[in-house]
Amino acid sequence: MIIVIAEVVTRPGMEQAYEDSFRALQAIVSRNEPQCVLYQSGRSREESSTYRAVEVFADQEALDFHLESAWLRDGWSQMQASIASVEVSTHESV
C-alpha cells in the first residue's frame, strides 16, 4: 500500500471552504477509485486552520490513477483558494 499524508494550512477564515471542497472531492474519489482504501482529512485540535489529509492506495497504479484524474485537478483547483500552504509526504506500508 501507498500512504500519502498532506499537512494543509488554510488561509484565515477559509476553513469551511476547504472542508466543503475536500468533502466534495472525497465523495468523487469514493465513487470512482475502488483501489483508494482511505481518503480522509481531519482538523487539528490545537490549530484550527491546520489539517492532515490521509490517503491510502492499494498500490502505485492506484495512486497514479488518482493523480492523473480529472476530478483531482478540478477538486484541487477549487481547494487552492482556501489553502495557504500544503506539504505532502508519501510512504510505503510496512
Classify burial at 22, counting beta carbons within 10 Å of its beta carbon; exposed 0-12, middle 13-18, buried 19 or more.
buried
Query: DSSP character for 93?
Result: -
> Structural domain of residue 10, as residue ranges?
2-92
pLDDT digits (tens, 9 = 90+) for 24-79: 999 999 999 999 999 999 999 999 999 999 999 999 999 999 999 999 999 999 89
**DSSP β-bridge partners for residue 4:** 55, 90
Query: DSSP character for 46?
Result: S
How do strand 2-10 and strand 83-92 relate by DSSP bridges?
A: antiparallel
pLDDT at 46: 96
What is the domain-level CATH number for residue 38? 3.30.70.100
CA angle 49-55-56, nearest 5°? 155
pLDDT at 42: 97
2-30 mean pLDDT: 97
Count structural domains, the chain.
1
